[in-house]
């Protein structure tokens, strides 16, 4: 690669990072406008608060990242003195790692085992962040918020991986990494316009219980959940890819070729995605349908209580009506009896024989 081409790529990557920052500010502005519509006067405080929080969340890890030493690179073959110096520096660096406390570093095999432990720790962190992004973006279902979640999560992921190795990528590699983060933000903010249900259905459906589809009336909810998990799975895949690229640039090894790193990260991210979607998707599905079940049970119980209360009210009203009717009939019977007695007495008086002279 010529010097002119390198500078051109550097300028393009820097311009893309700046454009991503402008896009992030635009997303914050839209969220502030939404807050202002909900409550008049809240737009300005929300805008500056979110902008300050976003700036601190991006700049602080970046500054800490720049303070780390550059990643160690294996020297060219044949330079035995450089190889010996590299091995000594590598052992000294690994001995200072908090992740390798008590790890012996005397032989080459022990050094390779220590590097494997660091690689496993970086992969665990990458999986954890990808699962968090999947759950967050699947539940939020808002392109602007999804973009902010992806931006913050991936910047922090790069910093955590660099802390695990105690090394940072070169400035050129950092520009490439941050340009990938910016691209992920743009993709995450526009996923609402793309239907991923058909593309990721085989993966997402494995996380959805088969019994749900047989419940009448929940077909629409199942489709919505599938689309939400598909959107989250796409963001998780992008996060996995960024984490794997950061791992390749931070690990003390031979200088990685960008094309090989990109292809390897894409293949490895695709392999890791299935298990993450299955585990995280199962938890989300169980939580969602658990809430649905709880709501249905609560509604049915409330309806049963209402019916029972209505039945008791009807029974009480019927008993009162019967009692009132009984009293009315008793009073009517008493009046009839009194009237009959009075008539009988008058008749008896009228037919009584007259006294003789």
pLDDT at 294: 64
Report pLDDT for 18: 74
pLDDT of residue 295: 62
- Region for residue 41 given its phi and psi (left: phi exceeds 0; alpha: psi -120 to 50; beta: otherwise): left
Residue 130 is predicted with a pLDDT of 92
pLDDT less than 50: residues of the chain: 197, 210-215, 355-357
Residue among 126, 317, 156, 320 at smallest CA distance from 240: 126
Would you state the pLDDT for residue 89? Answer: 85
> In the prediction, which pLDDT does 120 show?
92
pLDDT value for 192 = 58
Phi then psi for residue 336, to 5 deg, are -65, -40
The pTM of this model reads 0.69
pLDDT of residue 261: 84
Secondary structure of 263-328 as H, E, C letters:
HHHHHHHHHHHHHHHHHHHHHHHHHHHHHHHHHHHHHHHHHHHHHHHHHHHHHHHHHHHHHHHHHH
Q: Where are the domains of the chain?
A: 3-71+110-298
CB atoms inside a 10 Å sphere around CB 265:
20
Q: What is the pLDDT of residue 30?
A: 77
- Give the pLDDT of residue 121: 92
The C-alpha atoms of residue 337 and residue 335 are separated, in whole angstroms, by 5
**Angle at the Cα of 254 (from 105 to 153), degrees rounded to 5?**
90
Let me know how many helices (H) and strands (E) the chain has, helices first: 9, 0
């Amino acid at each position: 690669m010529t010097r002119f081409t390198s500078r051109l790529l550097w300028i393009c990557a820097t311009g893309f990072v700046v454009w991503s920052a402008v896009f992030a500010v635009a997303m914050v502005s839209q969220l502030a406008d939404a807050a202002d519509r909900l409550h008049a006067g809240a737009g300005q405080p929300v805008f500056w608060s979110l902008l300050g929080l976003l700036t601190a969340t991006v700049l602080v890890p970046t500054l800490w990242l720049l303070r780390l030493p550059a990643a160690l690179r294996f020297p060219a073959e044949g330079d035995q003195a450089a190889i010996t110096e590299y091995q000594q520096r590598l052992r000294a660096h690994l001995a200072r790692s908090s992740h390798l406390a008590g790890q012996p570093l005397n032989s080459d095999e022990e050094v390779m085992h220590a590097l494997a432990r660091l690689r496993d720790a970086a992969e665990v962190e990458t999986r954890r962040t990808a699962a968090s992004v999947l759950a967050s973006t699947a539940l939020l279902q808002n392109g602007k918020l999804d973009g902010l979640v992806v931006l913050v999560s991936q910047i922090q992921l790069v910093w955590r991986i660099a802390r695990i190795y105690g090394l940072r990528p070169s400035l050129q590699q950092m520009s490439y990494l941050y340009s990938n983060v910016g691209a992920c933000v743009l993709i995450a903010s526009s996923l609402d316009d793309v239907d991923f249900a058909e593309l990721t259905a085989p993966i997402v459906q494995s996380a959805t219980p088969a019994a749900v589809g047989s419940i009448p009336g929940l077909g629409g909810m199942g489709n919505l959940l599938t689309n939400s998990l598909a959107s989250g799975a796409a963001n998780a895949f992008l996060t996995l890819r960024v984490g794997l690229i950061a791992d390749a640039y931070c690990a003390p090894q031979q200088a990685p070729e960008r094309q090989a790193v990109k292809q390897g990260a894409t293949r490895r991210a695709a392999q890791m995605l299935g298990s993450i979607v299955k585990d995280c998707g199962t938890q989300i599905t169980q939580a969602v349908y658990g809430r649905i079940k709880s709501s249905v049970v609560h509604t049915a119980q409330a309806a049963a209580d209402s019916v029972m209360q209505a039945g008791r009210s009807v029974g009480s009203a019927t008993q009162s009506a019967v009692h009132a009717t009984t009293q009315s009939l008793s009073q009517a019977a008493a009046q009839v009896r009194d009237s009959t007695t009075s008539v009988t007495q008058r008749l008896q008086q009228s037919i009584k024989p007259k006294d003789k002279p």
